[in-house]
Structure 1
Amino acid sequence: MKLKHLLFSVAVGCCSVSLFAQPIVGQKKTSGNPVFEGWYADPEAVVYNGEYWIFPTYSAPYGEQLHMDAFSSQDLVNWTKHPKVLSVENISWLRYALWLLRDTGQ
């Protein structure tokens, strides 16, 4: 009797694994987590002209945080990177940490 229970448990376990491993028909595709690759933090999001935009800060050592990238998507699944939408090249007084955005007087 114990052998029957063991075989039944193994059979149910194997069926369950194969059942749950199958993709669900009609399941919507998602962007995943993270939404896009890279070292980013503190995202700000906006919808502009029907397109989704994310503006995160760039996470790097303090003295290297000299630009901001942006990401856009029309479907919240596929994202396009827009590198350096704002950077030290655009702000003459910026010395470090773009997210700080204040004149250090240096």
Structure 2
Amino acid sequence: MARAATTTDAFNAVAEPRRRQILDLLAQGERPVNDLVEMLGLAQPQVSKHLRVLREVDLVHVRDEGRQRLYRLNASPLRDIHDWLAKYQQMWAERYDAMDAVLADLKEEEDHGD
């Protein structure tokens, strides 16, 4: 089965760790590409390639200011990922609650066993 192109949706785009790093940096505020290059320690063409993918799935918006291109996060497409993960968040919360109950029982047994 062929893998979906990274430019088809936010799920595929954020599958790449460097793109997630870029999103994390842009979540802190708008930045020019040179700042991203410096912060990531990557070559400018690599960062630009990742930004292109993020723009194509609308996770990043760009605006020109003089000679600079400033990039900012558009978190709206992440909503689909959030909604999908919400189902699993509930499942994990229930599992952690069950584990907490088991640990509390074990602690109580240990305390009464002394």
User: Is TM > 0.5 for Structure 1 vs Structure 2?
Assistant: no
Q: Which has the higher contact order (CA 8 A, sep 6+)?
A: 2
- TM-score of the pair, normalised by structure 2: 0.23
| Between structures 1 and 2, the one with greater strand share | 1
- TM-score of the pair, normalised by structure 1: 0.24
Structure with greater Cα Rg = 1
| Between structures 1 and 2, the one with greater helix share | 2
